[in-house]
Chain A
Amino acid sequence: MPAEGLLAWSWLVIALPLAGAAVLLVGGRRTDRWGHVLGTATVLGSFVLALLAAIQLSGLAHRSVGVDLFTFISAGSLDVRAGLLIDPLSVGFMLLITGVGALIHIYSIGYMAHDPGRRRFFAYLNLFVAAMLLLVMGNSFVALYVGWEGVGLASYLLIAFWYTRPAAATAAKKAFIMNRVGDVGLALAIFLMFAKLGTTSYAGVFGSVGTLAGGTITALGLLLLLGACGKSGQFPLQAWLPDAMEGPTPVSALIHAATMVTAGVYLIARSAPIYDATPAARTVVMCIGALTLLIGAIAGCAFDDIKKVLAYSTVSQIGYMFLAVGLGPVGYVAALAHLFAHGFFKAGLFLGAGSVMHAMNDQVDMRRFGGLWKKLPITFWTFTLGYVALIGLIPFSGYWTKDAIINATFDRGDWLGYALGIAAVLGAGLTAFYMTRLMIMTFFGRPRWEDGVHPHEAPAVMTAPMVVLAVGSVVAGYVLVEAFPLSHWMAPLFGAPKEATHVIAPLTFGIGITLVALLGVALAWLFVGRREVPVTAPVRVSPVVRAARNALYADTINESLFMRPGQWLTRALVFFDNRGVDGAVNGMAATLGGSSARLGRTQTGFVRTYALGMLGGAVLVAAALLAVTAG
């Protein structure tokens, strides 16, 4: 259905941050003084427009409108038009991206106040917001892919923001390359769609899914999953997310917690009609989600870097979302509710971590924190609200959303549902454990600060967004699941909410989950809180802890399986290039040079030799003439 009125102007939502990025990048140092204000204003403007679009959309009877923009590719029989699709799913993401994005922009004004590259930072942030909005608002897989690549680029630019640091440059390269591996999957899926269906627009593809062979649909599902794993940091492409913490903390909050890493979940949710037709691909999605949530949870227990713990927590929570979308129609809404709630509390936790780092002279080692709850009150309380939301204590956000996911997993009734459900419950316990460990090491206990560190609360421009996000963390879960259920808002996409047959009674289940979380909290207090936190990490630890410290050897496996063979291949190619190709070219040049030197010796400068040559030539010509005329 074509858009009318305000919705026809939805492209402004993307255009505003894009224009902001262009102005700030092209304007250069001239815009340094007001660059951060422009950057924040564009995203705030987009948020207002998104809000108005949401209000107008909710008033429509048919909650799905399209905005046709321009012809993107027109080559022979290939005609791809660029357009936007405004429906409940895209509007939900638009509000998340612009809302949380605006708050993080405001926070960055304060966090990056002393950084000379602040204007460049806001330009890249605006570029990211524009690309992410295009990703969620596009009406075809090609439009999604343009935004997909854009957020990958913005992520690379922002992780390596302090590009003079070798660790940051390496982490950005790693993130981009691992994203690329996933992008191959998405690109192949798009090629398959073009080959089989001739179109990649959502309307075209989802309308014709029934005409495809079962194998093709499963292949599409698996290829899209590969793309989603790359972007969302799921197994086996999860190793880049913790390394991406080299970037400034607002980047970690916006990109690697709330928005870019959720693009994979968006992709799978948007492709619901494809996944509904292929139970095999759905099973793979669920298993990857469950596996990743355990990997993230186990690794998160062993790191001392506060940002890395939060990064592994993100990997784990997105594993929950993947587990949910793999469940089929009943799971999409649960995954999206958890996604939106997670956007609030994880961004809030990252901003809180940034505030702590700001107070402790950019220290990230939790073994150097301690006793901060009195010195940083606002940070402490906002962080605590995010913490209880994440571990799923009733009645905070995480409880409602995580509970819905685990409940739906068990409701499958078969052995896979039980196995994955138990894994999810175990993950919830581990989540409570590592988050409590983080809280204890950071805020409680005796101060273990370095010399010259004087913790002070962050300025208002940084604490205000943290407070807003903390409030969101508290209420988002209840609002999205019970008060204004997301299932009703998303009904045009995923069908009316059905009453599920529960394997375990909901109340029992809720109490059980909360008890598991409290058990995690208690264990953390037992192992970490009761004794002094050592300033240097203990060396003699069990193999389990050592494995967790190495992130379950993910980096080691990647290195031995891919990096070393790649290096050998490179070295072999360089050797072949130097000896073989260069040898052939230089050899030819040497041959020509040598033969020309030898031939040159006939030029003696001796006139009589030349005269003899002329005579000989004339005799030959005369003899030839005689032979021709006589013969």
Chain B
Amino acid sequence: MTLTHYLVLAAILFTIGAVGVLVRRNAIVVFMCVELMLNSANLTLVTFARAHGGVDGQVMAFFVMVVAAAEVVVGLAIIMSIYRTRRSASVDDANLLKY
């Protein structure tokens, strides 16, 4: 298995995640797609770490995972409170920024 396979896999995962963020209506599914994008970035980092022979990429992947966890906590809390007030988890319904 060469480097290229891992990078292509990461790109495919990133694209699926990006399309999912844009297309899906449910806020939690959008979040899952964001996590998918983060994990594809992790895969890229680890792949290059293996390619260069050092551990820098793997350490950065740890950081990314921590940040992703914190972000999920905050994001799910926001979605929960929006659901409680609006009775809907659809991103289309949060349109109060309309001019």
Contacts and interface: CB of A to CB of B under 8 A. Distances in A.
B22 A605 contact: no
> Secondary structure at chain A's binding surface: helix, strand, loop or mixed?
helix
Interface stretch (A568-576, A580-588, A606-614): A606-614
A576 to B, nearest CB: 38
Contacts of B92: 606-608
A612 B22 CA distance: 6
A605 B97 contact: yes
Contact of B98 (A605, A608, A611, A612): A605
B18 A615 contact: yes
Interface string A612-631: 10010000000000000000
A605 B18 contact: no
B91 A605 contact: no
Interface string B69-99: 0000000000000000000000110111111
A600 B98 CA distance: 9
B95 A606 contact: yes
Given A612-B22, A615-B18, A615-B22, A607 B99 contact: no
A603 B21 contact: no
Which of A600, A608, A611 has the most B CB atoms < 10 Å from its CB?
A608
Contacts of B91: 607-608
B93 to A, nearest CB: 9
Contacts of A608: 22-23, 91-92
Interface string A92-115: 000000000000000000000000
A211 interface: no
A278 B22 CA distance: 97
A165 interface: no
B22 A604 contact: no
A74 to B, nearest CB: 62
Which of A600, A604, A607, A615 has the most B CB atoms < 10 Å from its CB?
A607
A62 interface: no
A601 interface: yes
Contacts of B21: 611, 615
Nearest to A619: B18
Nearest to B21: A611
Contacts of A607: 91-92, 94-95
Contacts of B23: 608
B1 to A, nearest CB: 26
A496 to B, nearest CB: 95
Contact of B99 (A600, A612, A615): A600
Interface in A531-574: none
A288 to B, nearest CB: 75
Interface string A368-409: 000000000000000000000000000000000000000000
Interface of A: 600-601, 603-608, 611-612, 615
Interface of B: 18, 21-23, 91-92, 94-99
Query: 10 closest Cβ contacts across the A-B interface?
Result: A605-B98, A605-B95, A603-B99, A600-B99, A605-B97, A607-B91, A612-B22, A611-B22, A611-B21, A604-B98
Given A601-B99, A603-B98, A615-B18, 12 more contacts: A600-B99, A604-B98, A605-B94, A605-B96, A605-B97, A605-B98, A607-B94, A608-B22, A608-B92, A611-B22, A615-B21, A615-B22
12 contacts: A601-B99, A603-B98, A604-B98, A605-B94, A605-B96, A607-B92, A607-B94, A607-B95, A608-B91, A611-B22, A615-B21, A615-B22
